[in-house]
Amino acid sequence: MLDKFSIKVIRAPLAQTAKLLSHKGITANQTTLFGFAMGCLAFPALVMEHYSWALLLIIINRICDGLDGALARIHGITDAGGFLDISLDFLFYSLIPFGFVVANPEQNAVAGAFLIFSFIGTGSSFLAFAVMAGKRGIENPVYQNKSLYYMSGLTEGTETIACFVLFCLLPQHFALIATIYGIACWFTTATRIWGGYKTLSDDEEAIKLP
C-alpha cells in the first residue's frame, strides 16, 4: 500500500548511490547476492537474540534490495536479474520470522508459522499474476521499471520492512505483531486473487470482442 509513496522518497538517493557503485564496477546481481548474504546473517543474530545486530543486517538487506534495482536501471534490466532478486527476496522474507521461531519456539512457533503461511498467500498470488500478465502482455501502470508486474495490496515491501523493524524493537511482542500482520497479508492475498482474476477475465473478454 505504501510502496508507491516510499519509492518516490528513496528513488533519488538510491539512484545517486547506484551511480557511485556503478563507477566502481559493482553490478546489480552482485548487490543482490551481497544483500541476501547480509539478510541470511540476520538469522543467527535472531536465534541468539541479538536483535540490534539483526535489525542492522535487515536494514542492509533492504538497502541492497533498492540498490540492485537502481543499478539494473543503469546497466539494463534483465529477466535473469529480476528472477534472482525476487527469488532471494521471498527466501529472506520467510527467514526472518523463522529466526524468531527458533529463538523462542514456545512463544513464537504458532504465530511465526501463521505469518510464513500468509507469505505463501501473498507471494503465490503475486507471482502467479505476474506470469499471466507477462504472458498476455498486460502492462504495469504503477511500477514501470520493474521486471515483473507488481500487484499492489495492503501489505507490500514497505509494510513488511516496518513489521520486521517492530519485531526487532519489540521481540517480546513478536507473536502479537506477527498474527496481526499475517491477517493483513491474507487480506492482501484475497484482494490480489480477486483483482487478478477479474483483470485476466476482462482481458480475455476484450480479446473475444470483434
Q: Give the domain CATH number at 38.
A: 1.20.120.1760
Residue 116 sits at the vertex; the CA angle it makes with 111 and 120, to the nearest 5 degrees, is: 140
Could you tell me if 108 and 174 are in contact, meaning their C-beta atoms sit under 8 angstroms apart? yes
Number of structural domains (the chain) is 1
At which residue does the C-alpha cell 525476487 appear?
Answer: 86
- In this predicted structure, the answer to whether residue 99 has a pLDDT above a threshold of 90 is yes
- Residues contacting residue 50 through CB under 8 Å, at least 6 positions apart: none
- In this predicted structure, the answer to whether residue 108 has a pLDDT above a threshold of 50 is yes
Q: Which range is least confidently modeled, 99-108, 112-121, 128-137, 193-202?
A: 128-137
- In this predicted structure, the answer to whether residue 209 has a pLDDT above a threshold of 70 is no
Residue 62 vs residue 135, higher pLDDT:
62
Q: How confident is the model at residue 9 (pLDDT cuts 50, 70, 90)?
A: confident
Question: pLDDT tens-digit profile of 44-95?
Answer: 999 999 999 999 999 999 999 999 999 999 998 898 999 999 999 999 999 9
- Residues contacting residue 166 through CB under 8 Å, at least 6 positions apart: 173, 177
Q: How far is CA 32 from the centre of its chain?
A: 13
- In this predicted structure, the answer to whether residue 203 has a pLDDT above a threshold of 80 is no
Q: How confident is the model at residue 104 (pLDDT cuts 50, 70, 90)?
A: very high
Model's pTM, two decimal places? Answer: 0.85
End-to-end CA distance of the chain: 37
The pLDDT value given to residue 143: 47
- Residues contacting residue 149 through CB under 8 Å, at least 6 positions apart: 129, 130, 133, 134, 138, 140, 143
Q: Which residues constitute the domain of residue 196?
A: 3-208
Interior/surface letters 189-199, b for 16+ CB within 10 angstroms, e for the rest: beebbeebeeb
